[in-house]
Amino acid sequence: MFDLLSSKKLINLLPKIQNFMEEEIFPIEKEVMKMPFKEVEKILRSKKEKVQDLGLWNPYLSQEFGGPGFTLTEVARIGEVLGQSPLGHFTFNCQAPDAGNIELLMHFGSDDMKQKYLKPLLDGEIRSCFSMTEPHFAGSNPIYMGLTAVKEGDEYVINGHKWFTSSADGAAFAIVMAITNPEAESPYARASMIIVPTDTQGFNLIRNVPVMGHAGEGWHSHSEIIYDNVRVPTSNLIGMEGSGFLLAQERLGPGRIHHCMRWIGIAERSFDLMCKRAATRDLSPGKPLGTKQSIQNFIAESRAEIDAARLMVMNAAYAMQTKGNKGARQEISTIKFFTAEVMHRVVNRAIQTHGALGITDDTPLAFWYREERGASIYDGTNETHKAALAKRILRKYDLKIRNN
């Protein structure tokens, strides 16, 4: 049925992307996932060149910026295929947080920003990061932060503390969420987004925050940063002063579709590994693991849940195409927590099916188990999305909800 939402161009392209993943990416995972990321980048450089030669580079972009011009539902389908490997999106130059930053610069960046920052991002020459979350303020409340950008003449002076700035290690610039209008009547009009080159004096990368025992490096990292009297030109402001929250919503809407379809790709690959293990692993001569009812339950439940999640995400993507981000808020909240939880369950079942092998790094399962636990936290906790969804539903039943 998904072909009804897809062009012939996409229908012809998807098998090429799948073949590339199976022939070029899956075989090197076991080796490169154990290597420092700086070495991984060197290996992937040749893979990126092949992607470009095949015409698969930047597959989510509009035709105006050199992409194929696919709809959001079509991009979602590509995201699932790339999500089957931790290396997929990076190899095709559509990895987070760069993809979201690219969308911001495409739609709201000045001509100078597009030339200086957007073009090298599109060409894969540099990376970027997005600096919003702060250690002393609840990340689930995007209007509650302490970092400030004070205007002095034709400069902003930025001071504050951020962490979980993903991919800051080695990035050329950060898009920083900063309080510029603290006296604004609406708390949603107090923050702005400002570009800060990472080589600016006062930009201090303190550490890569260890996640489940792994600090990571390069693109695969989350950094803690101190902004100490960082000075940048006021021309580095993206959009209008006080529009940071609105820009964040514009960035997060499509971003959640990208995340959710990547999670479905992870679940689908985990499902495939689980089924292969169940069919080929003998508990005793002539008795494969798949003959056990508990394993059969794992497989049946996973198949149903993945299919349900995929339909929900595609429905949300279509709602965004036809009604816009605001009109699709209910669908976006629903897929965020539902898809993350489906992915967690499927990965966990696949690990259990693999036994001791499942917790090693000989398969990508252990990587996803530790690295994707954050799926239920970042971009709004599951609990936050569930509460928002329930409130919207209950308002239709005239429930009076007080702000508290």
CATH match of 246-395 with 3.30.450.40: no
pLDDT, the chain, mean: 93
What are the structural domain ranges in the chain? 2-109, 128-238, 246-395
Evaluate if residue 1 carries a pLDDT over 60: no
Give the pLDDT mean for 386-392: 91
Pick from 230, 312, 237: which is nearest to 267 by CA?
A: 312
What ranges make up the beta strands (E) of 145-219?
Answer: 148-152, 155-166, 173-179, 191-197, 203-208, 216-217
pLDDT in tens, 167-222: 999 999 999 999 999 999 999 999 999 999 999 999 999 999 999 888 889 999 99
pLDDT in tens, 37-80: 889 999 999 999 999 999 999 998 888 888 888 999 999 999 99
Residue whose token pair is 């699932």: 80
Least confident window among 16-20, 91-95, 256-260, 360-364:
256-260
Q: How many C-beta atoms surround the C-beta of residue 280 within 10 A? A: 10
Dihedral sign (CA 127, 130, 131, 135): negative
Evaluate if residue 404 carries a pLDDT over 60: no
CATH for the 2-109 domain, from 1.20.1050.10, 1.10.540.10, 3.10.20.30, 3.40.50.920: 1.10.540.10
> Roughly what angle, to the nearest 10 degrees, separates helices 244-280 and 72-82?
50
Alpha helices in 83-226 (DSSP H): 88-91, 98-108, 111-113, 119-122
CATH match of 128-238 with 2.40.110.10: yes
Evaluate if residue 122 carries a pLDDT over 90: yes
Q: Are 162 and 224 in contact (CB under 8 A)?
A: yes
In this structure, what token pair is assigned to residue 45? 């450089």
Evaluate if residue 274 carries a pLDDT over 70: yes
Least confident window among 20-34, 198-212, 277-291, 322-336:
322-336
Rounded distance between C-alpha atoms, residue 95 and residue 209, angstroms: 20
* pLDDT category of residue 33 using cuts at 50, 70 and 90: confident
The pTM (predicted TM-score) of the whole model is 0.92
Q: Give CA angle at 61 (314, 93), nearest 5°.
A: 100
Residue 207 DSSP label: E
Pick from 378, 363, 308: which is nearest to 86 by CA?
A: 363
Dihedral sign (CA 383, 385, 386, 391): positive
Count Cβ atoms within 10 A of the Cβ of residue 116 and give its class: 0-12 exposed, 13-18 middle, 19 or more buried.
middle
Rounded distance between C-alpha atoms, residue 221 and residue 214, angstroms: 9
